[in-house]
Amino acid sequence: MFEEKSELTTVQGGIPQEIEENPNHQLLLSCEGNIREECQGTYISKARTLFTIGFYDHAVLEYWNRAITDLKDKLTIYGLEHFPSELNLKIKTREDISNIKDSQVIEGCYLLGIIDDEAYTFLKHCLAVRNNFTAAHDTESPIDPLEALNLIKNCVKYVLQRDVPSPAMTINDLLQYIQSENFDVDHFKEVIKDQSPKIIESFLRRIFSEYIDPQTTKDYRDNLKLIIKEVWDKVGEEVKSDMGQRLMQLKLEDEVDKSLYAMDFILQVKGMKYIPKTVRKHIFIKKSREFLHAHSGFNNFYTEVSHAKELEELGFNIPDEAMKAYVKAITFSYTGNSWGISDGAEPYNQSMIENLPTKGKKCY
């Protein structure tokens, strides 16, 4: 008597609707369309079925479990040997990582840079929702379809649609490559561009130690000079400040050779401002006095050039205590003597005068 319909229906606002017409179902399908192909499969199809018949909490769990599995896969691909030691977990194999908490998976991915700040924040929120408002635990407030869709959307946006990371580089292997005859700067840049901040920070600390080692060969140090600025620019302020502190410590320990190489490293990366002011002021005063002495000495038009260059290369973060000596040196050289000025020193002097801070200009 009546035509039989095979389509599933849902109830929304007390009104039966075909699945294809249900806006929540359409939003779910839209999310699915952004999932990487290798992440499609049993979890996702099961979640779709559960969602369409109204078991939103169970659908959310399927999506969450797929997202956590994907994060574990990404940790494995990145290299379990790099798993953050801060979490105090012994992770050697894929089985080890299968047994840790979801919160630790998220934390590990964040510390390694596999997920960014935004993803970390939203995934932590998703975990709280999963723990308190889904079938994972007893709850008196079941999740509604909109909240379920929001969690599913975040699982897709921050995990399931994002590509797997490049395997983390092995620092020892990379250092050997830098020392080899096959070393190529452009290839090096390609290798490190997708590495996590954690790995880059560790690598910078290591090449700093290699650079300041008096036993390091000239060829090796020259190769390091080609790449240290590239690495330096990828790390945060805290790590850069640590390098400045290392230089101060070397000077306090009277490690003459190491402190000289450390100073050269800082100059190569234009990092003078990260040297503590107590040390930086003495560096500026010493270089300024040497410059002024060269100006007053024999053949000054020639000898001033290297001193002007060295002083200008220190940058323009001049401590107040060194300002007077600094301004005096560049002013005397810039104005010259009765025989004229040093043409070679003039562009460096011009640069230093143009970049004088307000306190320096008041010295005139």
Whether 333 and 354 map to the same domain: the answer is yes
Q: For residues 251 and 283, state if they share a domain.
A: no
Together in a domain, 55 and 150? yes
Which 8-state DSSP code applies to residue 340? B
On whether both 235 and 180 belong to a single domain, the answer is: yes
The last residue of a domain, from among 101, 133, 160: 160
- Say what the pLDDT of residue 254 is: 86
Which of the four pLDDT bands, split at 50, 70 and 90, describes residue 9?
A: very low
For the residues 150-161, what does the mean pLDDT come to? 95
pLDDT at 111: 86
Asked whether residue 2 is domain-assigned, the answer is no
Using 50, 70 and 90 to split pLDDT, how confident is the model at 105?
very high
How is residue 216 annotated by DSSP?
Answer: S
Round the average pLDDT of the chain to a whole number and report it: 87
Q: Which of 51-55, 153-157, 339-343 has the highest mean pLDDT?
A: 153-157
- Does any domain span residue 201? yes
- What was the pLDDT predicted at 101? 94
Q: Are 301 and 344 in contact (CB under 8 A)?
A: yes
Contact 241, 253 (CB under 8 A): no
Q: Letter for the amino acid at 269? A: V
Average pLDDT of 141-155?
88
How confident is the model at residue 82, as a pLDDT?
83
- Asked whether residue 56 falls in the same domain as residue 35, the answer is yes
Q: Does the pLDDT of residue 327 top 80, yes or no?
A: yes
- Give the per-residue pLDDT at 268: 94
Q: Domains in the chain: how many in total?
A: 3
Mean of pLDDT values over 197-223:
92
| Whether residues 267 and 153 fall in one domain | no
- The backbone torsions φ and ψ at residue 71, rounded to the nearest 5 degrees and listed phi first, read -65, -40
Q: Do residue 270 and residue 287 come from a single domain?
A: no
Residue 1 lies in a domain: no
Same domain? 218 vs 286: no
Cα dihedral 309, 311, 313, 316, rounded to 10, equals -140
Per-residue CA distances from 315 to 75, 307, 351 (Å): 41, 14, 10
Residue 159 has pLDDT above 90, yes or no: yes
pLDDT at 11 over 70: no
What pLDDT is stored for residue 28 in this prediction?
A: 87
Out of 133, 160, 187, a domain closes at: 160
> In terms of residue numbers, what domain contains 87?
9-160
Decide: helix, strand or coil at residue 16: strand
Q: Are residues 191 and 314 in the same domain?
A: no
Q: Do residues 178 and 69 share a domain?
A: no
Out of 241, 274, 307, pick the residue that ends a domain.
274
Q: What is the pLDDT of residue 14?
A: 46
Alpha helices in the chain (DSSP H): 23-32, 42-52, 56-78, 94-98, 102-111, 117-133, 145-155, 171-179, 185-192, 197-212, 218-232, 237-252, 256-268, 277-296, 300-313, 320-335, 346-354, 358-361
Beta-strand relationship, 15-18 and 9-12:
antiparallel
